[in-house]
Amino acid sequence: MTATSLNPIQMQQATLTSANQPLTLKQGQVFQGTIKQLYPDQMAEIQVGHQKFIAKLEVPLKAGDAHFFQVTGTSPQTELKVVTGPMEQTASQSQQINQLLESMNLPKTAEMQQLLSHFMKAQLPISKEQLVQAEMWLKALPDDVNKMDALQAIQKMVEFKMPMTNDVFQALISGQKTSGMVSVMENFTQLLTNEIALPENLKQSLMQQIQAIAKPFEVETGSLVLSKSIQILMNNAASMSEKIQAMNILKEAGILPQQATLQNWSSLSDVKSIQSNQLQQAGEVIHTILSTKPNNINDLVGQLKSWTANQSLLTDGQKQSLNQLIDRFNQLPATKQTLEIFAKQMQEQLIKAFAENSSERLFTQDANALSVKDHLLSLLKHEVTTPLQNEAFMRSLMKNSVESAQSMIQQIVTQADAHVQNSMDSKAMEHALKTVLKNLGVSYEATLSNKSADLQQIAHQLKPQLHTLLQETHITPQLKEATEMLMVRMNGMQLASGENGHQHQLIMQVPLEFFGKRMDATLQWNGRMKEDGKIDANYARILFYLQMESMKETVIDMQVQNRVVSVTVFNENDDIIIPLAEPLKTALKIGLAEKEYQLSGVFIKQFEKAQPAKTTPVVEQQEEHSGVDFRV
């Protein structure tokens, strides 16, 4: 079954490109055109597909005739040479192709005929050199790549003026695949693990990034372990042994200093000065209190109340308690001592509040894109920490906790894992996709052009590290090949994505792993841009291609027309999926309505079985994708 090919939308996109973009010709290109109008000095109006242009002919011709032309010059005007004589209207396509092959002295192979047939149908000019190169690729196609996918890739290279190199061709072929990313990652990881010639720091950095991709919820699980450990430390009913275990696991992760004790673990003795015009992390709140001069108390109170009111990760009850604490402080004499006491009380109350809220706000961020763990770490570390640092702390905490011999720590990890599994919802899935794509670093080249980009965070992504790995001269040929294959898959996503005027296409291949279950997920989004350059949210086509361990091949086709949404799920096991999907329809309808979309229906279908191949290429192309109605 080949239901999960990306070709249908790509073919539609190609048609739009041909119709919307002006035809640009290069010297040496060949195309089929019809003479519409003759002018003096052997000038003529030529029609190619839906477009017309004026060119100079080498010899006089007759209006109405169709010929194959070759571009012999483009400046100061387009000049054309006639490659074949007038095409008879009754001539078949194969006869026309044979005439062109003879005229241009091209080999009459099946691959060359397929190429010419494809480009005649697409009404695109192509040069003799490009045809020869493309024929070599078609002849050498591996068994897992069909010729239609290869032809689409070659068309895109010609159409978008990409370099006709094997690297680009392989990347485009790879970008059209909807499975295999997980196996490519696994092969690379295994070879990297066994590699002994690599510098240890590069190897460890790569392994950490692979771990981040393989476990997209590890940071959230670590956040729960952090919160539970803090709650034990603050719980008067907890035993001394439990508190020591909780404190030691935080020390091992570098979250608490080694000299911390049960009496001073939250001490602010090592306060660093922070210059900030706008409070964001909770730790900044405490530092601002301590650095405030007694004569600026009114400004401080206003800042604190504003920060508390706008902090979405706190409950209304917690905000009320904090405001009461602020009001009591405001009634005291403004001295350095009262500021220190107030800072300690605020810190303890904020640590307690955020630790309590961790489980309920696991995948939630505030207006500054900060999570509960970010606020907790800023309160414990006594300094402003970056998201990258915080993730490293959480992964270190999880590693030490999983390896801990203490039964209490193991119990905390088990409970945290179970809570994350039970919290799986749309926010969790969105978080997982964003986490994997960010850590892959697929589009890191584009991110580099952003002046506000965090260069340190970009450098830790997988793709830039793969570039570094390929510069190493001592790695084994097997690891180098696996690295190049992974790079090809990533580059393929970028090359397969693109824009044609107002039409945009985005393709993402994501290797996902949830609680021991691995799957390939490919997302293909097609939409259009408005005049202001923003995405038109009223119209879109989104296809999800999933290769899952239990449900196997699944395609979800979501179409948005004037904010009306229809969803079709294709899977061989529709008898199993229908009862599972039914309870979710109401939630989907409500969720879409909240975003001002209307659900028209959810349809569950099986893939239709492919019929025997027909004789014409057009029918064969349709048969490859039978079972999924890709018409828009």
Give, rounded to a whole angstrom, the gap between the first and last alpha carbons of the chain: 22
pTM exceeds cut of 0.75: no
Assess contact for 178 and 547: CB atoms under 8 A: yes
In 3D, which of 543, 514, 501, 466 has the Cα closest to residue 176? 543
What are the backbone angles phi and psi of residue 291, rounded to the nearest 5°?
Answer: -95, 0
Q: Are the beta carbons of 495 and 172 closer than 8 angstroms?
A: yes
Count CB atoms within 10 A of the CB of residue 464.
17
* Mean pLDDT in residue range 122-151: 88
Residue 564: what pLDDT?
Answer: 95
C-alpha pair distances (Å), 120 with each of 33, 99, 117:
10, 13, 5
pLDDT band, very low/low/confident/very high, at 59 (cuts 50, 70, 90): confident
For residue range 165-200, what is the model confidence (pLDDT) as tens digits? 888 888 888 777 767 788 889 999 999 999 988 888
> Per-residue confidence at 39, pLDDT binned at 50, 70, 90?
confident
Identify whether 257 is preceded by a cis peptide bond (ω within 30 of 0).
no
pLDDT digits (tens, 9 = 90+) for 221-267: 999 999 999 999 999 999 999 999 999 999 999 999 888 898 888 77
The predicted pLDDT at position 501 comes to 60
What the block records as the tokens of 123 is 């009404």
Q: What pLDDT was estimated at residue 331?
A: 92
